[in-house]
Structure 1
Amino acid sequence: MSDGDATGEGRVTGVAGRTVLLAGGTSEAGRVAAQVLTAAGAHVIIAARDEVALGTLRETLPGIRTQRCDLTDETAVHDLGERVGALDGVLHLVGGWRGGGGLTGQTEGDFRALETSLTALRHVSRAFDPTLRDSDAARTAIVSSTAVTRPLAGGANYAAVKAAAEAWNRAVAHGFAKHARDAGEPLRAAAVTYRVKALAGREFALADAFARLWDDDAAAVNDTVVTLG
């Protein structure tokens, strides 16, 4: 299948039957991920606050479920967890870009706007941690940036937030490993970080890589960083 084929049909089997949440999945990346995961046999739930965008996805992607939720609102995310119930995976897609203007152009307003992606990640990972641990094969992933390894002055806010998100995701991975170790059980959950220079044009690569996580042992992929393109 070419990189541009966003069906994923026939390529992924381990994710079949799994229930996966796309957090902030109303973007093009969310649409492609929903297509790939659904074609592979997964049950897809998209959570976001834009009801119009969610409605469009329901019309164009038969079989998906949607949940309206402000992922930056801790109480709302807790309620989302109660509504969704059992879950096997989360792909975090809350993001955005603000930058330029060198270091002095990095405004506090821009930082706070970017910080919402980290806030959403924290709320969602905490709310769904218990049910992901209960899954016999849980996989979570975030989308980070290659800017983390070489932050530029004009993207200092962006790189700082992405670095913080990576640190949080590594803590999630540690929590999965510790839970399994303390229970004397094999590791069944994994948290992965995907880095991209720019997500535009790499949506299918992200979706395919995420879906394929269920084809690998959790211990092999937990707390790993994968650069896409």
Structure 2
Amino acid sequence: MSVAGRLVLIAGATSASGLAATRALVSAGARVVAVGRDAAKLEPVVAAGASAEVCDLTDEAAVGELAERIHAHEGRVDGVLHLVGGWRGGGGLAGQSDADFRFLEGSLTSLRHVSRVFDADLRASDAGRLAVVSSTAVARPLAGGANYAAVKAATEAWARAVAQGFAKNARDAAKPLAAASVIYRVKSLDGLEDALAQRFADLWTTDAEHVNDTIVELTDPAL
């Protein structure tokens, strides 16, 4: 197996990680749909070979319309890399404001919408893959990052629930597991963009049963 010829959606593709993932996937022969809120910021991934879709992934109706467009013009999705994120924190526990929490919560909301609307696609694929980026803060939360750690912990719980759904679907159909949901934990993505991109592309070279419901810690390859 490989990612060649497969349709992969990158949610939150306007970051450096989105560009690195686009380059790795296109180089491996995948078809990439890059999704972001700002068309201008999607230009680098388009130049790298992706098709672009502008969408507010926190808007459930907009995500449904996005899926309809992709299905009509590209076909069924085989993979989703969720990169929607951001950071707000500091100020100890008293500094964990509702405004900051609502901002961070947008990442979880977008994951919920995207994973639900493309769940049937990933389950129908002979090698469906979902990957999310979490944080080492989940294992060691700090008072000044409590909002962030809480949202990342919820993100991991959601991704693991997706993994359980994949496994149950395979059992109920009496078929081998073909879809996998994977969590990547990082302290920071700075300097790890290419490593994350390659790890994600390589998910298609490994059987789903070996990677479904796994947590992979990514560290700086130079260390």
Identity %: 63
Match of 2:64 in 1: 78
Q: State which of 43, 50, 54 in structure 2 corresponds to 1:68.
A: 54
Aligned partner of 2:118 in structure 1 is 128
Cα-to-partner distance string for 1:82-130 (whole Å, 9 max, x where unaligned): 1112010000000000001100011110000000000000000000001
Q: 1:55 Cα shift?
A: 2.9
The counterpart of 2:92, out of the listed 94, 102, 121, is: 102
Correspondence list, 1:50-199, <5 A? 50-58=38-46, 60-61=47-48, 63-85=49-71, 86-199=76-189
- Tell me, what secondary structure is at the counterpart of 1:184? coil
Partner of 1:24: 12
Alignment partner, residue 9 of structure 1:
none
CA distance in 1, matches of 2:111, 2:141: 21
CA distance in 1, matches of 2:152, 2:191: 20
Task: State the TM-score, normalized to the length of structure 1.
Answer: 0.92
* TM-score, length of structure 2 as denominator length: 0.95
Instruction: Give the SS at the match of 1:44.
Output: strand
Equivalent-residue separation in structure 1 for 2:213 and 2:3 (angstroms): 19
> Number of matched residues?
215
- Cα distance per residue 1:23-71 (max 9 Å; x no partner): 011100000000001001111110111111123432x31x311111110
- Equivalent-residue separation in structure 2 for 1:81 and 1:166 (angstroms): 23
Unmatched segments (≥5 aa) in structure 1: 1-12
Corresponding residue to 1:45 among 18, 30, 33: 33
- Aligned CA RMSD, in angstroms, stands at 0.9
User: For the Cα contact (< 8 Å) 2:92–2:145, is it kept in 1?
Assistant: yes
Partner of 1:209: 199
Distance between the aligned counterparts of 1:57 and 1:177, measured in 2?
33
Deviation at 1:144, TM superposition (A): 0.1
Separation in 1, partners of 2:154, 2:217: 17
AA in 2 matched with 1:172:
V
